[in-house]
């Protein structure tokens, strides 16, 4: 029973355009959400996070939006760069306990 879902296994975007990666969750107890970026044969690296008391968090080109009523979060990358090409995982936790990860979305930014 997957509590965090990323329904798009892949996404292709032109350089300079916006990339939107989506994530849905089922557990209303989740109060912290994170996005990780992963290159092949490497471990994931932390990208950005958001607490459930917020609906938006921005860090440079990366913005995460949280819609608690829809149990949905999204990661926006603007403008997208070829170096952003990687697999992006969303993760969720409650009370900073175990983290639950989605299956990942592979982003390809075309030059």
Residues near another protein (CB under 8 A) are 2, 4, 6, 9, 32, 34, 36, 41-46, 49, 89, 91, 95-104
Q: What is the DSSP letter of 61?
A: T
**Residue 82 beta carbon to another protein: minimum distance, rounded to whole angstroms:** 22
Please identify, using beta-carbon distances, which residue of 42 and 70 lies nearer to another protein: 42
Where do the DSSP E strands lie in 1-111?
Answer: 4-5, 10-14, 19-25, 32-38, 45-51, 56-59, 62-67, 72-77, 86-93, 100-101, 105-110
Please identify, using beta-carbon distances, which residue of 62 and 100 lies nearer to another protein: 100
**Residue 58 beta carbon to another protein: minimum distance, rounded to whole angstroms:** 17
- Separation between Cα atoms, residue 78 and residue 96, nearest integer Å: 29
**Residue 102 beta carbon to another protein: minimum distance, rounded to whole angstroms:** 5
């Amino acid at each position: 029973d997957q509590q965090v879902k990323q329904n798009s296994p892949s996404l292709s975007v032109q350089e300079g355009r916006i990339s939107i990666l989506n994530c849905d969750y089922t557990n209303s107890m989740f109060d912290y959400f994170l996005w990780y970026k992963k290159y092949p044969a490497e471990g994931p690296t932390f990208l950005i996070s958001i607490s459930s008391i917020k609906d938006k968090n921005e860090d440079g080109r990366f913005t995460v939006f949280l819609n608690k009523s829809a149990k949905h979060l999204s990661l926006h990358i603007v403008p997208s760069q070829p170096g952003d090409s990687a697999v992006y995982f969303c993760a969720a936790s409650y009370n900073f306990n175990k983290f639950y990860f989605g299956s990942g979305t592979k982003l390809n930014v075309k030059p």
